[in-house]
Amino acid sequence: MTAALPADLFCPRVSTRSHGPDLSRIVAGMWRMGEWGMSAEQRVAFIEQCIALGVTSFDHADIYGNYGVEGLFGEALRLQPSLRDRIELVSKCGIKLVSPQRPQHAIQHYDTSAAHIVASVEQSLRQLHTDRLDLLLIHRPDPLMEFDEIAAAFAALRQAGKVRHFGVSNFSRHQFESLNRRIELATNQVEFSPLHTTPMFDETFDGLQDLDVAPMIWSPLAGGRLFASSDDNADHLRLVIKGIADALNQPFASVVFAWIMQLPCRPVPLTGTGRIEAIAVAVAGTRFTLSRGDWFAILRAARGHEVA
């Protein structure tokens, strides 16, 4: 896990809200860590390399890796405890998977009850070998969620010093604002990419900008489909992005990250890779701004039509 990285490449930081967590501008997503084949020592080295790039925020969920990723990351923190005070830990809860790790789960479902939220946090803390989370998110909106109950659970966790800030993931604007009225939320983590622009037009981003809340972005590269999808629209979009990247002498993925971060709601994209070189490419997207013409050229290609 060694890589030659530009000496001046360093990720800036952004606050998800005036009183929210101070996250790195690029967040390292840990969803696939179980597939990376790293030893505990290699995981320590990977975390240290991310920190060297200025990527100090790490995104988890209790269910990632069939309930195993937090434990893998926690093994690294146990080997090198000094890392904990140099990073921000994000986790999510609220989904119950059918899994050999959870034999009591008879059906996959959501659970945003106070009891489950608290129990999930306690388990995440044990797995991560830490005494607090910097940010906890409700993973998906639950049809049975009670906003008052969630807010009370969040407040109790904050009072106990176990979670510093709270947010949600995949919530609509109305769902976000309903919970935010009861307890201040720091972010809404949503899917967004040039192949999935819905949050730009369904009031999700407008509502967050209005509240001075920066969204977190999962799948900013459309799960790799920007590189490999063979449908006509994706092919044309890829050619447009490549043309802009070539003209700017920037990597293709850096242009995509720059395009996302240029939105006024200040999106915070996640990576999903164990390759430090790919994380450096994401960080490079924080170093330049696209012209309006280039930005709208990508939007036009993404939507398949002019803006008017």
pTM: 0.95
Is residue 137 within 8 A of residue 91, CB to CB? The reply is: yes
Question: Does residue 20 have a pLDDT over 90?
Answer: no
Given phi > 0 = left and psi -120 to 50 = alpha, else beta, which region is 262?
A: alpha
**233: pLDDT confidence band, cut at 50, 70 and 90?**
confident
For the chain, the straight-line distance linking the first and the last C-alpha, in angstroms and rounded, comes to 48
**Cα–Cα nearest to 244, from 305, 288, 282:** 288
* Percent of the chain residues past pLDDT 70, beyond the cut: 97
- Decide: helix, strand or coil at residue 95: strand
- The pLDDT mean for the chain works out to 95
**What tokens were used for 86?**
């140099």
Question: Does residue 267 have a pLDDT over 60?
Answer: yes
**Cα–Cα nearest to 162, from 119, 187, 125, 188:** 125
What pLDDT is attached to residue 5? 54
What pLDDT is attached to residue 1? 40
Is residue 195 within 8 A of residue 226, CB to CB? The reply is: yes
CATH code at 13-230+250-288: 3.20.20.100
Average pLDDT over residues 46-51: 98
Which residues are CB-contacts of 265 (< 8 A; sequence separation ≥ 6)? 205, 206, 208, 209, 213, 214, 215
**Cα–Cα nearest to 185, from 153, 217, 151:** 151
Q: Give dist(CA 116, CA 139) in Å, integer.
A: 13
Beta-sheet strands, E only, within 139-261 = 163-169, 188-191, 216-218
What pLDDT is attached to residue 228? 85
What is the CA 272 to chain-centroid distance, rounded? Answer: 9
Is residue 173 within 8 A of residue 231, CB to CB? The reply is: no
Residue type, 18: S
Q: Give dist(CA 77, CA 71) in Å, integer.
A: 10
151 vs 307, more confident? 151
Question: Does residue 52 have a pLDDT over 50?
Answer: yes
Known catalytic residue at 64:
yes
**Cα–Cα nearest to 301, from 253, 206, 231:** 231
Question: Does residue 6 have a pLDDT over 70?
Answer: no
**What tokens were used for 52?**
């060297």
Q: Are strands 133-138 and 216-218 parallel, antiparallel or unpaired?
A: unpaired
**18: pLDDT confidence band, cut at 50, 70 and 90?**
low
18 vs 97, more confident? 97
Least confidently predicted of 48-52, 75-79, 101-105, 289-293: 101-105
Which entry of 31, 58, 64, 257 is annotated as an active-site residue? 64
**54: pLDDT confidence band, cut at 50, 70 and 90?**
very high
What pLDDT is attached to residue 91? 98
Please state the domain extents for the chain.
13-230+250-288
**59: pLDDT confidence band, cut at 50, 70 and 90?**
very high
Residue type, 160: A
Residue type, 214: A
Question: Does residue 3 have a pLDDT over 60?
Answer: no
Radius of gyration of the chain (CA): 19
